[in-house]
């Protein structure tokens, strides 16, 4: 029996690109979930002071609560600019959320990113307020001073 060759009139099978496109979008979504969002908690309005003692943290914090003090004395919390007096109810809400999750307040770390032109007294007021609510761990952020070489 004679086999028919592929002539000019034969139709070739074309690959369906749909599965490949689906897989590409799934990979994009997967990597977007894995992106490190540590930079998301930082505002460009805050210019950290330089310090020779500053070093990156050894490990990521388990329950960070980031407060950013502007040079005007207001606090940026979860993207919202808040006057100092309105910070207490928001921190109280964070405390309640931790208690509802069965977590101790000692597991939370208050990360304070203060602008280099912010008044030191304001940083102390924020720490005192947090301590009154029961928070115990604090981390102050500064920009690592670059060595001239």
* pLDDT tens figures, 64-120: 888 888 888 888 887 788 876 788 888 888 889 888 988 888 888 888 888 888 887
pLDDT tens by residue, 1-22: 555 555 555 566 677 888 889 9
- Residues 133 and 106 sit within 8 Å (Cβ to Cβ): no
Residue 132 token pair: 């009154």
pLDDT at 16: 83
Place of tokens 């670059």: 146
> Pick the residue with more confidence: 26 or 54?
26
CA-based nearest residue to 94, from 113, 107, 75: 107
pTM for the full model? 0.60
* Distance from C-alpha of 57 to C-alpha of 59, rounded to nearest angstrom: 6
Domain ranges of the chain: 41-144
Residue with tokens 């979860």, as numbered in its chain: 78
């Amino acid at each position: 029996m004679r086999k028919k060759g592929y002539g000019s009139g034969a139709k070739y099978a074309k690959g369906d690109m749909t599965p490949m496109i689906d897989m590409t979008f799934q990979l994009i979504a997967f990597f977007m979930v894995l992106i490190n969002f540590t930079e998301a908690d930082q505002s460009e309005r805050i210019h950290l002071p330089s310090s020779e003692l500053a070093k990156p943290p050894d490990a990521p914090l388990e329950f960070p609560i980031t407060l950013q003090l502007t040079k005007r004395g207001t606090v940026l919390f979860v993207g919202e600019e808040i006057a100092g007096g309105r910070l207490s109810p928001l921190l109280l809400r964070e405390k309640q959320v931790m208690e509802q999750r069965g977590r101790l307040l000692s597991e939370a770390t208050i990360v304070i990113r203060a602008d280099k032109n912010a008044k030191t007294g304001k940083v102390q007021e924020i720490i005192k307020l947090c301590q009154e609510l029961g928070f115990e761990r604090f981390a102050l952020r500064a920009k690592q001073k670059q060595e001239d070489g």
